[in-house]
Amino acid sequence: MNKNKIAYLAGIIDGEGYVGLKKRYKNRQGITTQYSLVIPFLIVKKEKAELIIEYRKTVQKKPRFSVLSKKIVAKREHIYITLRRMNTKGPKFLQSPEAVSSGISDDSGLS
């Protein structure tokens, strides 16, 4: 793919695309390569794409139900909560990490 097409794709992702994680993991092998290509061209969602790549680095090529270390689980949870906070609409300073991770927003009527 040439540089212009990658830059165009990055513009679409920045303007309209969603960059985040779902709690239920599905194996998406190509996502790291795709984000690696567009990251240099992203402006708005660059930090989110970099977090996705960090998350993907924690994915091991082991049997599906292998036990993960506490360090990896903690890193994944941190990335997940960080992305959730970044993708939450409304005043982000009012939302606690616990509320974001549980999907609960504040009741102030401001979000």
For 52-76, the pLDDT digits (tens) are 889 888 876 666 667 888 998 899 9
Interatomic CA distance for residues 44 and 55, integer angstroms: 19
Assigned token pair, 41: 């061209």
- Please say whether the dihedral angle defined by the alpha carbons of residues 101, 104, 108 and 111, taken in this order, is positive or negative: positive
In a domain, 111, yes or no: no
Cβ-based neighbours of 89, under 8 Å, separated by 6 or more: 111
In a domain, 69, yes or no: yes
In a domain, 80, yes or no: yes
For 79-107, the pLDDT digits (tens) are 989 988 888 876 655 555 555 555 544 44
In a domain, 109, yes or no: no
In a domain, 67, yes or no: yes
Interatomic CA distance for residues 69 and 97, integer angstroms: 22
Assigned token pair, 5: 């097409």
In a domain, 90, yes or no: yes
| Count of domains for the chain | 1
Domain that holds residue 66: 3-102
